């Protein structure tokens, strides 16, 4: 052995020994392993110099960002002397975000120290919405709310309890709380968000979210620039850029020049709503030129079922299917797509060629954007995934995965059964195929007398501001005969919280516990959000029993809140609720968060106990120390996995190869939501699918294959949409009057996040207003409008006033206005950094909002609030939008047909006027387009049982009630 080899061996041995101790051998900042982070073994006592070169000693405690959905890892730098958080940076141990954050992560510090934050429970004094509050104790609030809920449950008014959630930020905890109460009261925001895209994916692969492996792709096709610039901005964006740096081609469909579009190799700015036409032209190109993966299509598409249903007299051969496929999309020529979209034919042809060259390394993504904007938008996702399905780029390296394969939801200690009731306020029978609750129609349902609410929780949700038609929400929320008690669980003031009876302060990302896991690459990880000061104190040997001990003021966290509330609803256990919130270690006592997560991490996260033990830690201590754990990397093609013989018992094979078994389903620690395809007629459960003579795991669809043809859509009243197709939007040029433009309202500036970031001064300074994007040609047509000119935008139900931004970054004939802005408050209180103060007036269906004044400097504990230099906070455009529920997916179709003109004398920027009677008429018109379950259900139920649903009532509850059946 040479001398160098000896030294080399010595270094290698030292490296192994160091790593075995759980320490970092190559310290940061180092270019060697992207290790520009404090070594993890020094997280207990990290020394940095401040700007005056004084030593600052901090503890580094991981948590998870609570701003957008991507759940990036954060490291809180907790001052060891003062036990205050000094800053947030990225957590290098987080496999999704890999130590990198967007602006919203570090700005968590602003949210924690916001001088206007709600620090104690508040109870309304005077009329609802009057703006007068008194401080209440948690005891008072909990007892009051619990008594009402207990009464509703015992009096069989369970559908009067509703929990309406915006950003869940957790994986199923609250659904289980509701299930433990036996109420079908979960109401999500998803139908104003992502359910259009979800529907498209769900009908294809049984799973409602895509998981694109951008980093491994050769071609990336995004109809989701909104997503890459907002949600998932960081974990997806960094992987898109990794691929681009490798030479991958980026294709972006976006009518507006978004941040993502600026990085594209091919930016297509189509007429809004025409995206599916372009996608089908690309699909046609793949089919006509024979550039699709024949073997994949033959093995994994449900083409046999399609032939049997649509061409029963044709030979059931793959060759025949190919002939039909060839003809099915023949009309979608490049010329057709160009005519629909306004994108030049050669551009579409070039993009089609790029896609054709991707092979199995095509990653695609649609989330919101076109799927959330248009009538039939759900078909955009369906047509997009058609490209993956044609190329076989499904669960391949660089392809697109079903998200459930790249997500891990650890099973908790208590899993209550689902309720035996059906709440028609959220799941009305007009929308049997809706992907999620028809949440944004709630005020109209209440006004129509479909039901009332006794206890209504809004939780990190602001429907008055986020949803369309917010004045109808105000009408419902201020009517105590419709909403008995409104409880706002929120970390910050919101337009909805102003109209609550209780405002209960909940923690930000460094003040609460949650687990979560998201699809960001082909792997599975679990992230842990935790109150960092609790973890810091525990590191110093000070146990904390209640998170309120360490949070600011009386700010609480939800886990402890829900456990306590449930306990009070059923103090003696007679309702069967308490047992779901009881300690296993100390029977008869309330569960603690420590026990809850300790059990979960010890029993339901494969590999974590071993990894923790190797560092001499318990699984919970490991997660408190590192904040995240990667369970698997390179999950791959689960659909190709053979089914174990042990699972094949008394097997039956269905007509098109679906395989059923009597063997019980094996227990798994990952309880990620999956659909539940129906058993066969004899009660065997679906276990796989027969492919070339072998039983493979397949996809969780009725057929077990990718459903090019959806029998669900065909059987439930929409046979014309059973295969991927193009639905003309409600804002198609043919539907517009000559003087109307299309308004895009779904995009947002990437540093802000819905309701939750107005309390972050750094973010407010960067982005605080939302002018109207207007193409120079349209500006000229409107009489030479210039940037800054006030404009009036007229919708179907009213108008709003804002300033113009003349830019070539938008397609002519289309205008755009960013979400996030136009925050307002009707009183002096509330969030002062980004909320204008307004006067509201109401008269006979007519609402007017007049801006009293914009944002201005103010005195507070934070000297920066005297330095506020902006006053314009934009306009709350959503107030002037009527509801547009898609009759299939239930998604609100956000795009608006509008008229834009110069502001009138007396108009002020930020002014809004709305006629809520016209809003209700619009609701009725869209409702007429539905095909209700009572008319189309093939089996007398309200909804196909196999479809995903956050809470899944018993099968009996699925049956239409007698009076509903009579209506058939």
Partner 1 sequence: MSELLRALAVLCEPPAAGHERLVAALELPASPTASEHTDLFELQLPPYASVHLGPEGMLGGEARDRAAGVWRALGLVPPAEPDHLATLLGLYATLSDTMGSDPSVSYAARSETTGSDPFVSRFARALVLHEHLLSWLDPWLAKVAEIGAPAYRAWGELLGAVLRSESERLLAGDEPLPAQLALAAPLEPPERTGGGAFLDALLAPARSGLILTRDDLARAARETGLALRVAERRYVLRNLMAQDAPATLGWLEEEARRAADRPARVAPGAIARHWQQRADGTARVLAHARHQAEEREVTHAR
Binding site for partner 1 (CB under 8 A): 2, 4-5, 7-8, 10-12, 14-15, 18, 24-34, 39, 42, 241-242, 245-247
**Residue 766 C-beta: closest distance to partner 1, Å:** 24
**Residue 624 C-beta: closest distance to partner 1, Å:** 23
Please answer whether residues 516 and 169 qualify as being in contact, where contact means their C-beta atoms are separated by less than 8 angstroms.
yes
**Residue 286 C-beta: closest distance to partner 1, Å:** 26
Q: How many CA atoms lie within 13 A of 169 on its CB side?
A: 30
Residue closer to partner 1 (CB basis): 85 or 248: 248
- For residue 773 the two structure tokens come to 């994007």
**Residue 360 C-beta: closest distance to partner 1, Å:** 16
The closest of 789, 872, 879 to 836, measured between CA atoms, is 872
**Residue 520 C-beta: closest distance to partner 1, Å:** 17
Pairing of strands 161-165, 453-459: parallel
Helix (H, G, I), strand (E, B) or coil at 508: coil
**Residue 35 C-beta: closest distance to partner 1, Å:** 9
Cα separations (Å) of 212 from 363, 365, 966?
5, 7, 46
**Residue 394 C-beta: closest distance to partner 1, Å:** 22
The closest of 547, 551, 524, 555 to 596, measured between CA atoms, is 547
Residue closer to partner 1 (CB basis): 43 or 847: 43
Residue closer to partner 1 (CB basis): 34 or 584: 34
**Residue 904 C-beta: closest distance to partner 1, Å:** 53
Residue closer to partner 1 (CB basis): 4 or 655: 4
Residue closer to partner 1 (CB basis): 18 or 333: 18
Residue closer to partner 1 (CB basis): 242 or 630: 242
Please answer whether residues 506 and 111 qualify as being in contact, where contact means their C-beta atoms are separated by less than 8 angstroms.
no
User: Backbone phi, then psi, for 619, in 5-degree steps?
Assistant: -60, -40
Residue closer to partner 1 (CB basis): 33 or 867: 33
Residue closer to partner 1 (CB basis): 49 or 667: 49
**Residue 458 C-beta: closest distance to partner 1, Å:** 43
Residue closer to partner 1 (CB basis): 235 or 874: 235
- For residue 111 the two structure tokens come to 């949210």
Residue 833's contacts (CB-CB under 8 Å, 6 or more residues apart) are 114, 116, 758, 759, 761, 764, 855, 865, 868
Residue closer to partner 1 (CB basis): 220 or 338: 220
Write out the H or E segment, with its range, that includes residue 914.
strand 912-915
Residue corresponding to tokens 């490296």 = 15
Residue closer to partner 1 (CB basis): 245 or 681: 245
The closest of 890, 881, 882, 966 to 929, measured between CA atoms, is 890
The closest of 49, 11, 3, 13 to 32, measured between CA atoms, is 11
Three-point CA angle 286, 287, 292, nearest 5°: 65
Write out the H or E segment, with its range, that includes residue 590.
none
Residue closer to partner 1 (CB basis): 24 or 64: 24
Pairing of strands 741-744, 896-902: antiparallel
Residue closer to partner 1 (CB basis): 89 or 305: 89
Please answer whether residues 886 and 375 qualify as being in contact, where contact means their C-beta atoms are separated by less than 8 angstroms.
yes
Residue closer to partner 1 (CB basis): 246 or 867: 246
**Residue 85 C-beta: closest distance to partner 1, Å:** 24
**Residue 521 C-beta: closest distance to partner 1, Å:** 14
- For residue 849 the two structure tokens come to 């909002």
Please answer whether residues 548 and 554 qualify as being in contact, where contact means their C-beta atoms are separated by less than 8 angstroms.
yes
- For residue 398 the two structure tokens come to 């660089």
d(CA 472, CA 880): 10
- For residue 528 the two structure tokens come to 């842990």
d(CA 628, CA 62): 8
Q: What burial class does residue 494 get, using C-beta atoms within 10 Å of its C-beta: 0-12 exposed, 13-18 middle, 19+ buried? A: buried
Three-point CA angle 953, 169, 751, nearest 5°: 140
d(CA 559, CA 329): 51
- For residue 403 the two structure tokens come to 């998200």
**Residue 24 C-beta: closest distance to partner 1, Å:** 7
**Residue 241 C-beta: closest distance to partner 1, Å:** 8
Q: What burial class does residue 492 get, using C-beta atoms within 10 Å of its C-beta: 0-12 exposed, 13-18 middle, 19+ buried? A: buried
**Residue 217 C-beta: closest distance to partner 1, Å:** 12
Helix (H, G, I), strand (E, B) or coil at 261: helix
**Residue 685 C-beta: closest distance to partner 1, Å:** 37
Residue closer to partner 1 (CB basis): 12 or 317: 12
């Amino acid at each position: 052995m040479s001398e160098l080899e000896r030294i080399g061996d010595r270094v290698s041995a030292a490296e192994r020994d160091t790593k075995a101790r759980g320490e970092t051998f190559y310290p940061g900042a180092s270019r060697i392993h992207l290790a520009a982070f404090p070594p993890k073994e020094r997280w207990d006592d990290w020394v940095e110099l401040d700007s005056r070169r004084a030593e600052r000693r901090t503890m580094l405690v991981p948590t998870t960002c609570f701003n957008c959905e991507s759940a990036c890892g954060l490291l809180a730098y907790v001052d060891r002397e003062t036990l205050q958080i000094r800053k947030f940076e990225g957590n290098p141990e987080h496999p999704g975000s890999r130590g990198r954050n967007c602006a919203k992560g570090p700005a968590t510090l602003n949210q924690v120290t916001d001088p206007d934050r709600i620090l104690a429970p508040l109870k309304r004094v005077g009329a609802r919405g009057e703006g007068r509050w008194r401080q209440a104790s948690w005891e008072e609030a909990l007892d009051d709310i619990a008594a009402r809920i207990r009464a509703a449950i015992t009096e069989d008014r369970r559908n009067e309890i509703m929990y309406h959630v915006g950003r869940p930020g957790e994986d199923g905890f609250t659904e289980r709380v509701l299930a433990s109460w036996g109420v079908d009261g979960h109401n999500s925001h998803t139908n104003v968000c992502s359910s259009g895209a979800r529907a498209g994916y769900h009908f294809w692969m049984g799973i409602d979210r895509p998981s694109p492996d951008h980093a491994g792709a050769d071609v990336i096709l995004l109809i989701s620039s909104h997503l890459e610039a907002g949600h998932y901005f960081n974990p997806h964006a960094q992987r898109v850029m990794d691929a681009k740096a490798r030479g991958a081609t980026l294709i972006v469909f976006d009518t507006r020049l978004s941040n993502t579009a600026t990085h594209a190799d091919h930016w297509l700015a189509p007429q809004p709503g025409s995206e599916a036409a372009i996608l089908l032209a690309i699909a046609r190109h793949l089919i006509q030129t024979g550039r699709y993966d024949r073997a994949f299509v033959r093995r994994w598409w449900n083409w046999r079922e399609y032939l049997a249903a649509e061409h029963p007299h044709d030979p059931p051969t793959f060759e025949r299917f190919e002939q039909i496929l060839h003809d099915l999309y023949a009309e979608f020529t490049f010329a057709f797509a160009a005519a629909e979209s306004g994108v030049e034919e050669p551009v579409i042809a070039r993009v089609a060629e790029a896609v054709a060259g991707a092979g199995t390394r095509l990653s695609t993504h649609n989330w919101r954007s076109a799927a959330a904007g248009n009538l039939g938008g759900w078909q955009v996702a369906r047509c997009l995934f058609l490209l993956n399905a044609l190329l076989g780029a499904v669960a391949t390296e660089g392809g697109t995965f079903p998200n459930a394969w790249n997500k891990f939801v650890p099973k908790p200690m208590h899993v209550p059964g689902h309720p035996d009731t059906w709440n028609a306020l959220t799941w009305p029978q007009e929308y049997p195929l809706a992907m999620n609750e028809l949440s944004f129609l709630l005020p109209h349902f209440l006004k129509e007398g479909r039901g009332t609410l006794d206890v209504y929780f809004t939780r990190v949700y602001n429907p008055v501001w986020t949803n369309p038609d917010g004045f109808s929400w105000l009408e419902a929320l201020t009517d105590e005969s419709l909403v008995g008690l409104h409880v706002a669980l929120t970390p910050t003031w919101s337009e909805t919280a102003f109209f609550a009876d209780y405002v209960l302060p909940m923690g930000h990302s460094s003040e609460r516990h949650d687990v979560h896991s998201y699809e960001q690459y082909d792997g599975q990880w679990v992230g842990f959000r935790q109150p960092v000061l609790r973890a810091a104190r525990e590191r110093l040997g000070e146990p904390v029993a209640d998170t309120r001990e360490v949070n600011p003021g009386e700010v609480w966290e939800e886990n402890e809140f829900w456990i306590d509330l449930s306990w009070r609803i059923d103090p003696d256990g007679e309702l069967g609720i308490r047992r779901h919130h009881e300690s296993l270690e100390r029977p008869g006592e309330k569960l603690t968060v420590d026990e809850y997560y300790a059990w979960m991490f010890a029993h339901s996260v494969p590999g974590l106990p071993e990894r923790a033990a190797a560092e001499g830690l318990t699984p919970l201590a490991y997660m408190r120390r590192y904040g995240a754990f990667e369970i698997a990397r390179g999950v791959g093609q689960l659909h190709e996995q053979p089914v174990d013989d042990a699972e094949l018992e008394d097997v039956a094979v269905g007509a098109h190869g679906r395989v059923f078994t009597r063997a019980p389903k094996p227990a798994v620690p990952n309880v990620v939501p999956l659909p539940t395809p129906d058993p066969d007629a004899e009660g065997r459960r679906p276990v796989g699918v027969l492919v070339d003579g072998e039983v493979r795991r397949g996809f969780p669809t009725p057929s077990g294959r990718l459903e090019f043809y959806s029998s669900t859509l065909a059987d439930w009243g929409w046979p014309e949409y059973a295969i991927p197709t193009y639905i003309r939007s409600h804002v198609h040029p043919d539907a517009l009057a000559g003087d109307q433009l299309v308004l895009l309202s779904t995009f947002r500036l990437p540093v802000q996040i819905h309701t939750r970031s107005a309390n972050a001064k750094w973010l407010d300074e960067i982005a605080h207003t939302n002018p109207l994007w207007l193409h120079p040609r349209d500006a000229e047509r409107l009489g030479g409008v210039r940037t800054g000119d006030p404009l009036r935008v007229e919708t179907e139900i009213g108008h709003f006033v804002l300033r113009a931004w003349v830019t070539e970054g938008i397609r002519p004939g289309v205008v755009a206005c960013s979400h996030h802005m136009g925050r307002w408050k009707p009183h002096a209180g509330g969030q002062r950094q980004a909320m204008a103060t307004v006067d509201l007036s109401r008269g006979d269906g007519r609402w007017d909002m007049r801006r009293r004044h914009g944002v201005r400097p103010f005195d507070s504990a934070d000297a920066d609030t005297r330095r506020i230099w902006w006053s314009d906070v934009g306009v709350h455009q959503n107030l002037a939008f009527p509801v547009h529920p898609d009759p299939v997916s239930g998604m609100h179709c956000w795009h608006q047909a509008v008229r834009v003109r110069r502001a009138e004398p007396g108009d002020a920027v930020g002014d809004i006027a709305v006629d809520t009677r016209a809003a209700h008429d619009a609701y009725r018109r869209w409702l007429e387009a539905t095909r209700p379950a009572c008319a189309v259900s093939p089996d007398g139920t309200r909804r196909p049982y196999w479809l995903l649903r956050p809470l899944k009532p018993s099968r009996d509850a699925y049956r239409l009630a007698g009076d509903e059946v009579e209506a058939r």
